[in-house]
């Protein structure tokens, strides 16, 4: 009887061993953690994501663009293999990659490209992400894999900002969709991208993608990608709840705990992000330029960087553009902390403390008090600014709100000063509204310079114009920039170690380490041939061998 049991066991173990080693190759899942509550960035369809960097990134996993940017910020062929620009800079011919398939199996052709540009232009309001679609006149099909895009006027950044930004959508799905923002569901996320959306949970801020095994640039190196909101990314990373997360500003301090741990890798990059004090240029008294300057002199940026971000940030360029880019204009006035100067300006504007209570009064006699709006994340900065401005006799109340409320209030213009930040400052495009998203600033010289630089395709000439824009901002001070945070990503080495920050940011300048190239093997990008990974014997094999030995031992013992 014992013998039968032993043989039975042996058989099971053998089955285990072979099936285990041969079939069960472990699924490679990478979980990206985002600090709660900001996990939700909208439905990742081209018209459904929230118009912010993380939203675009999530959408870009499912959809491709004609060109893309590599680690060094160089525009590389993507859906288009090559392209030509006409001499007047208004006509672009793209030769598309052949044999690309949509997630549903249909073939991608020039018709889809033409459709995308026509459709996006028609649905300009729905496509919140990109404002420069005015440049597109129309697109024409030459043959199945050649498409020509006609612009209304030359656009210097066309390759990166339009060809590398507008997600190409399948005509066969979208042609009947009249309200793209309401179009959600499986079909709305069918693209050509390296990942297919499996699940999106708005309340949990969770996305789950599976690899598109037929991706034309090669099968992604992971099988599943999950992006989820976690309460404490650092703790989740330590416990293995997530495999990667990023920190910036003060929270980058957490990275120092991982830097000496061999299990984790840390990579640093510029954030292309700026925190700024936004002034309402339409409302008295912040509509007075000198008044804004006096406030700027009252603010001590160095103290904020030291105390709040603990040195994980640099004093911002008052012209907004990030110093790590080619467009940066150095040596603009920084309005470094100067209490005497601030006091002098306030006095000269007749905002004096007539009743000696330590707070200045309006020339009409009312106390000079106002609210500083901010979102919870920046309440420490607000706290410091409050105490700094108190020293120059301005009383400030801090009001904290969530960012969607803040955006709405800034648009309405119902505020005096606010603290808010934005990214994209590697790209002159962001200078469209220097006090974005408040837009209370009006300056004709500025507007015409901005339009001129957009059309200028000669880099040096354009640089001069962009310099001038930065000078105007630093001079008129619609916003006073505080700091550019440093940024880093921390990842578990064994899961995936290809993370990188794209120079100049992904797309139009998103400083997120989730460029889709991270998930595609490097060789695959240069030579588009899918590679298969050899399957390794897992623990099942070891288990089976030990089992076999144990059974053999039992037999031998019985014989004795």
Partner 1 sequence: MSTMEGLNRFWTAYKEKRLGLIGLGILLFFVTLAIFAPYIAPYDPHEMYKPVEHPNSDHLLGTNDIGQDILSELIYGSRVSLFIAFFVSVVSAIIGTSLGLLSGYFERIGFFLMRIVDAFLAIPRLPLIIVIAAFMPPSIWNLIFIFVLLGWPITTRIIRSEVLSLKNRPYVDAARMLGARDFYILGRHILPNVVPLIIVQLIMEAGYVVLAESGLSFLGLGDPTAKSWGMILHYSFEYPTIFISDLWMWWMLPAGLCITFTILSLTFIGYALEELVNPRLKVVEL
Out of 137, 210, 257, 475, the residue judged to bind partner 1 by CB under 8 A: 257
Q: How many whole angstroms separate alpha carbon 264 and alpha carbon 492?
A: 5
Closest CA to 130 of 57, 56, 43: 56
Out of 49, 247, 327, 416, the residue judged to bind partner 1 by CB under 8 A: 247
Least Cβ distance, residue 375 to partner 1 (angstroms): 10
Least Cβ distance, residue 354 to partner 1 (angstroms): 25
Q: Is residue 261 within the footprint of partner 1 (CB under 8 A)?
A: no
Least Cβ distance, residue 455 to partner 1 (angstroms): 44
Give yes or no for a contact between 3 and 527, defined as CB atoms under 8 angstroms apart: no
Out of 254, 296, 406, 518, the residue judged to bind partner 1 by CB under 8 A: 254
Out of 70, 81, 210, 303, the residue judged to bind partner 1 by CB under 8 A: 303
202: how many CB neighbours lie within 10 A of its CB?
11
Q: How far is residue 490 from each of residues 234, 236, 493, measured CA to CA in Å?
A: 9, 12, 9
Give yes or no for a contact between 141 and 118, defined as CB atoms under 8 angstroms apart: no
Out of 14, 22, 235, 290, the residue judged to bind partner 1 by CB under 8 A: 235
Nearest to partner 1 of 397, 413 (CB atom): 397
Nearest to partner 1 of 101, 386 (CB atom): 386
Nearest to partner 1 of 184, 307 (CB atom): 307
Q: How many whole angstroms separate alpha carbon 227 and alpha carbon 205?
A: 8
Q: Is residue 317 within the footprint of partner 1 (CB under 8 A)?
A: no
Residues numbered 357 to 386 that lie near partner 1 (CB under 8 A) are: 371, 376, 379-380, 382-384, 386
# residues contacting partner 1 (CB under 8 A): 29
Nearest to partner 1 of 266, 508 (CB atom): 266
Q: For residue 277, how far is the Cα from the chain centroid?
A: 21
Nearest to partner 1 of 257, 324 (CB atom): 257
Q: How many whole angstroms separate alpha carbon 48 and alpha carbon 342?
A: 46
Least Cβ distance, residue 312 to partner 1 (angstroms): 11
Nearest to partner 1 of 41, 248 (CB atom): 248
Q: Is residue 307 within the footprint of partner 1 (CB under 8 A)?
A: yes
Out of 223, 253, 391, 475, the residue judged to bind partner 1 by CB under 8 A: 253
Q: Helix and strand tally (H, E) in the chain?
A: 15, 18
Q: Quick one: CA torsion of 224, 230, 232, 237, rounded to 10 degrees?
A: -10
Q: How many whole angstroms separate alpha carbon 236 and alpha carbon 149?
A: 47
Contact string (CB under 8 A) for partner 1, positions 263-302, x = contact: ----------------------------------------
String of DSSP letters for 17-36:
HHHHHHT-PPP-EEEEEEET
Q: Is residue 315 within the footprint of partner 1 (CB under 8 A)?
A: no
Which stretch, 119-127, 231-239, 335-343, 504-512, contacts partner 1 (CB under 8 A)? 231-239
Q: Is the dihedral of CA 509, 511, 512, 513 positive or negative?
A: positive
Out of 65, 227, 251, 342, the residue judged to bind partner 1 by CB under 8 A: 251
Rg of the chain over CA atoms, in angstroms?
A: 28
Nearest to partner 1 of 435, 513 (CB atom): 513
Q: How far is residue 31 from each of residues 28, 395, 514, 540, measured CA to CA in Å?
A: 10, 46, 12, 25
Least Cβ distance, residue 453 to partner 1 (angstroms): 39
Nearest to partner 1 of 169, 392 (CB atom): 392
Q: Work out the angle at residue 262's Cα, subtended by the Cα atoms of residues 541 and 246, and round it to the nearest 5 degrees.
A: 105
Least Cβ distance, residue 122 to partner 1 (angstroms): 39
Helices in 456-538 by DSSP H: which ranges? 459-476, 522-526
Nearest to partner 1 of 166, 234 (CB atom): 234
Contact string (CB under 8 A) for partner 1, positions 388-407, x = contact: ---------xxxx-------
Q: Is residue 387 within the footprint of partner 1 (CB under 8 A)?
A: yes
Out of 66, 234, 410, 488, the residue judged to bind partner 1 by CB under 8 A: 234
Q: For residue 18, how far is the Cα from the chain centroid?
A: 45
Q: How many whole angstroms separate alpha carbon 144 and alpha carbon 378?
A: 51
Q: How many whole angstroms separate alpha carbon 92 and alpha carbon 281?
A: 40
Q: Is residue 310 within the footprint of partner 1 (CB under 8 A)?
A: yes
Q: Is residue 94 within the footprint of partner 1 (CB under 8 A)?
A: no
First to last CA, the chain: 18
Least Cβ distance, residue 256 to partner 1 (angstroms): 9
Bridge partners, residue 397, by sequence: 371
307: how many CB neighbours lie within 10 A of its CB?
15
Q: How many whole angstroms separate alpha carbon 391 and alpha carbon 394?
A: 7
Q: What residues line the site for partner 1 (CB under 8 A)?
A: 232-235, 238, 247, 250-251, 253-254, 257, 303, 306-308, 310, 371, 376, 379-380, 382-384, 386-387, 397-400
């Amino acid at each position: 009887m014992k013998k039968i049991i032993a043989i039975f066991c042996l058989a099971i173990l053998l089955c285990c061993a072979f099936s285990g080693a041969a079939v069960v190759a472990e699924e490679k899942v990478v979980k990206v953690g985002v600090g709660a509550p900001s996990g939700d960035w909208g439905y990742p369809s081209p018209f459904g994501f929230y118009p912010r960097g993380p939203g675009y990134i999530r959408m870009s996993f499912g959809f491709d663009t004609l060109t893309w940017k590599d680690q060094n910020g160089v525009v590389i062929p993507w859906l288009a293999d090559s392209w030509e620009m006409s001499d007047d800079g208004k006509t672009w011919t793209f030769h598309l990659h052949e044999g690309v398939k949509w997630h549903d199996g249909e073939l991608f052709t020039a018709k889809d490209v033409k459709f995308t540009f026509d459709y996006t232009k028609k649905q300009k309001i729905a496509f919140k992400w990109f404002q420069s679609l005015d440049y597109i006149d129309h697109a024409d099909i030459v043959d199945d894999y050649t498409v020509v895009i006609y612009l209304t006027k030359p656009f210097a950044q066309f390759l990166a900002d339009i060809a590398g930004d507008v997600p190409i959508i399948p005509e066969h799905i979208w042609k009947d969709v009249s309200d793209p923002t309401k179009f959600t569901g499986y079909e709305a996320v069918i693209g050509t991208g390296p990942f297919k959306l499996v699940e999106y949970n708005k309340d949990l801020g969770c996305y789950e993608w599976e690899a598109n095994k037929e991706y034309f640039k090669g099968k992604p190196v992971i099988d599943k990608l999950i992006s989820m909101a976690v309460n404490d990314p650092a703790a989740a990373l330590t416990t293995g709840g997530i495999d990667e997360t990023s920190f910036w500003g003060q929270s980058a301090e957490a990275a120092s705990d991982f830097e000496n741990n061999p299990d984790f890798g840390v990579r640093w990059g510029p954030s292309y992000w700026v925190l700024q004090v936004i002034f309402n240029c339409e409302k008295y008294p912040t509509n007075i330029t000198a008044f804004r300057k006096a406030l700027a002199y009252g603010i001590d940026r160095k103290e904020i960087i030291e105390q709040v971000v603990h040195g994980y940030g640099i004093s911002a360029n008052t012209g907004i553009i990030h110093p790590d880019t080619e467009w940066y204009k150095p040596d603009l006035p920084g309005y470094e902390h100067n209490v005497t100067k601030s006091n002098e300006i306030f006095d000269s504007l007749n905002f004096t403390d007539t009743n000696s209570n330590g707070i200045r009064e309006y020339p009409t006699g009312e106390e000079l008090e106002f609210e500083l709006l901010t979102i919870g994340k920046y309440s420490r900065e607000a706290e410091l600014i409050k105490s700094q401005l108190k020293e120059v006799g301005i009383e400030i109340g801090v009001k904290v709100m969530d960012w969607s409320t803040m955006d709405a209030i800034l648009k309405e213009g119902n505020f005096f000063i606010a603290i808010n930040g934005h990214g994209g400052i590697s790209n002159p495009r962001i200078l469209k509204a220097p006090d974005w998203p408040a837009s209370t600033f009006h300056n004709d010289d500025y507007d015409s310079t901005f339009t001129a630089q957009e059309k200028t395709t000669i880099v040096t000439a354009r640089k001069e114009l962009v310099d001038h824009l930065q000078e105007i901002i630093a001079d008129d001070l619609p916003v006073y920039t505080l700091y550019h945070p440093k940024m880093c990503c921390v990842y578990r080495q064994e899961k995936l170690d290809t993370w990188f920050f794209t120079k100049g940011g992904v797309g139009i300048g998103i400083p997120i380490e989730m460029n889709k190239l991270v998930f595609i093997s490097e060789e695959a990008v240069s030579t588009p041939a899918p590679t298969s990974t050899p399957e390794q014997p897992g623990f099942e094999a070891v288990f089976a061998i030990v089992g076999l030995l144990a059974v053999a031992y039992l037999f031998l013992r019985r014989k004795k």
